[in-house]
Amino acid sequence: MIKTVDKYIFRELLTPFLYSLAVLTMIFLVNFIIRAMDRILGKGLSFFVILEYIVLNLAWILALAIPLSVLVAVLLAYGRLATDHEVTAMRSGGISLPRIMAPALIFGILVGSFTLFFNTSILPDVNHRARLLGSDIYRKRPDLDIVPGYFIDDLPDYNIRVNEVTEDGLKGVVIFSKSNQREQVSIFAESGRTNTVGGQIIFTLYNGEKHLLDLDKLDDYQREYFDSTRLTVKVSNLELRRRESAVRGDREMTPAMMYKRIEENGERFDRTIARMLSIRLNSPLFDGDSSVDMIAVMDTLQRIPVTDQITINARTRVWNRTVDKLESQERLLDSYLKQVNKYQVEIHKKYAMAVTCLVFVLVGVPLGIMTRKSSGTIGVAIGMFFIYWAALIAGEELADRRMMDPVLAMWAPNALMAIVGLWINLQVSRERTVINLLWLKTIFNPAEWRIFAKDNSSSSKHLHE
C-alpha cells in the first residue's frame, strides 16, 4: 500500500520533472531550429510542412531531455525537502535513507520504462521519417530568386537578367539560351512577370523582341517583335516531392531490425572466411596446406636462391595475386565487424539511456540532500549530464572503430555513475558532507578573494596604538 509520504514525495518529483522537461525541450528545440534555419527557410515550404519537420525532430530531443529532466527533478525535489528540514524530520522519525529514496526509484523506473518503449518502438520510425523529409526539403529548389542587375543561371536551359523588380513585376528583362542548347533563343522585353505552376515557371513578357537561331542551320535566323509572349521553363524539384524508402540507418531501426542485420553480417563473415580458406588451399604457395602462415611462406620464398629471372617474376606475380585476394577479403571482414559493432552500439545505447533515468535517481537524491536548494543545483545537473553524454559519445566512437567492446562502451558510463551514486549514498547515510557548494560563491564573488593572508598581529598592534 502506498503511504502518504510516498505520495507526497512523488508529487514533489512530478511537478519539477514536467517543468524541466518543457524548458529543456524548448532549449534544445530552439537550438535545432536555429541550426536548421538555412535548410527550411527560402524553400517556399508551407507552414504545415515546416511544423511537421520540427515535430518529427522533436523525438530525438525528447530522448535527450527526459533523462536530464529526471536528474533535475530529483535534485530540486530532494533539495527542497532538505532545505525545509523535512528529510531530517523523516530520518528522526526512523525512516531510513533507502526508504526516503524509494518513491524516487519508482519514479525513475516508470520514466525509464517509458523511455525504453519510446527509444525502441517510436523513435526509430520517427527518425526515419525525419531523415526522409529533411532530404526531400534539401533537394527542393526554391522559387526563382531574382536579384536586379545580376545574371541568374539556376534555370536548366536559360539565363536571365532583370534591371529592376517592382510591385508591378519585372523591368528590363533579358533571357537567352545556355550555350549547350541546339536552338538558341534570345528575348529582350521592357517588362514582364513570373508565375509558378507545378514544376514550371511561366514568364509573361511585354513589348520586346525575340531572336531564334538553329545552330545546325545557321542561315535560318528569325527575328520577331511582340506585344506579349510567354515562355515556359520546366524546373525539376520546384515542388516538395515526398518519397518513401526502405533503406534505414542504425538510428532508424528497432532492436529487432538490428539483430537481423547482425545475423546477416555474421553469415557474410562466415562466407568470407570460407573464401579465404579456399584461396589459401588453391594457391601453389601453400601447397594445399591451409595452416601455413603467409609471412612464413614469403620469408621462405625469399631465402630460396633462384637464378632464373623468369622464375622470380612468376613467383612474385603468384604471390601478389594471392596477397591481393586475401587482403580484399580481410577488408570485407573488417567492414562486416564494423557494421556489427555499429548495430550493437545502437541497441545497447537505447537500453542504456532508459536505465540512465534510474542511475540519475541514485546519484541525484543524495546530491539534492547535500546541496539543498542551492543556486548551483541546475548547474550540477547539467554538468553531470554532459559528462555522462560525453562519455557515451566517446564510447560510441571507440566501439564503432573496433577499439572497444560495444557493450562495455555503452554501459560503462552508467556503471561508473552508479558506483559514484552508491558511494555518495553511503556517505549521506552516515551524515557526512561529500560536496560543499559554498566555495562556488567565493570563486564568483571577487570581494571574498584573499590574495594574502591577514596579519592578525599587525592588526591588533594598530588597535592597541
pLDDT in tens, 448-463: 545 444 454 444 444 3
| 13 and 84 both lie in a single domain | yes
**d(Cα 278, Cα 322) in Å, to the nearest integer?**
11
| 371 and 322 both lie in a single domain | no
Q: What share of the chain is helix, strand, coil (3-state, %, to 5)?
A: 65, 15, 20
Q: What is the pLDDT of residue 464?
A: 46
The Cβ-side half-sphere exposure at 398, using a 13 Å CA radius, reads 15
Q: Flag whether 280 is in a domain.
A: yes
Side chain identity at residue 245, one-letter code: S
Q: Flag whether 89 is in a domain.
A: yes
Q: Return the CA Rg of the chain.
A: 35
| 367 and 329 both lie in a single domain | no
Tell me what the mean pLDDT of segment 420-431 comes to: 83
| 329 and 380 both lie in a single domain | no
| 125 and 189 both lie in a single domain | no
131-150 core/surface letters (b: 16 or more CB in 10 A; e: else):
bbbbebbeebbeebeeeeee
- Does 1 have pLDDT greater than 70? no
Q: What is the pLDDT of residue 113?
A: 95
Last residue in a domain, options 287, 311, 346: 346
Bridge-based pairing of strands 217-234 and 200-214 is antiparallel
Domain count, the chain: 3
Range of the domain at 326: 250-346
| 13 and 115 both lie in a single domain | yes
- Does 201 have pLDDT greater than 50? yes
Q: Flag whether 242 is in a domain.
A: no
Tell me what the mean pLDDT of segment 100-129 comes to: 93
Q: What is the pLDDT of residue 412?
A: 92
Last residue in a domain, options 323, 346, 369: 346
| 11 and 132 both lie in a single domain | yes
Looking up cell 536548494, which residue turns up?
Answer: 373
| 273 and 336 both lie in a single domain | yes
Q: Flag whether 193 is in a domain.
A: yes
- Does 320 have pLDDT greater than 90? no
| 265 and 361 both lie in a single domain | no
Q: Flag whether 284 is in a domain.
A: yes
Last residue in a domain, options 187, 206, 234: 234
Side chain identity at residue 132, one-letter code: L
What single DSSP character describes residue 141?
A: P
pTM here is: 0.68
20-30 core/surface letters (b: 16 or more CB in 10 A; e: else):
bbeebbeebbe
180: cell is 549547350
Q: Flag whether 455 is in a domain.
A: no
> Which of 94, 95, 93, 91 shows the shortest CA–CA distance to 82?
91
| 166 and 264 both lie in a single domain | no
Q: Flag whether 128 is in a domain.
A: yes
Q: Flag whether 389 is in a domain.
A: yes
| 27 and 131 both lie in a single domain | yes
Q: What is the pLDDT of residue 326?
A: 76
Question: Which element (helix H / strand E) includes 46?
Answer: none
> Which of 342, 348, 371, 313 shows the shortest CA–CA distance to 72?
371
| 256 and 338 both lie in a single domain | yes
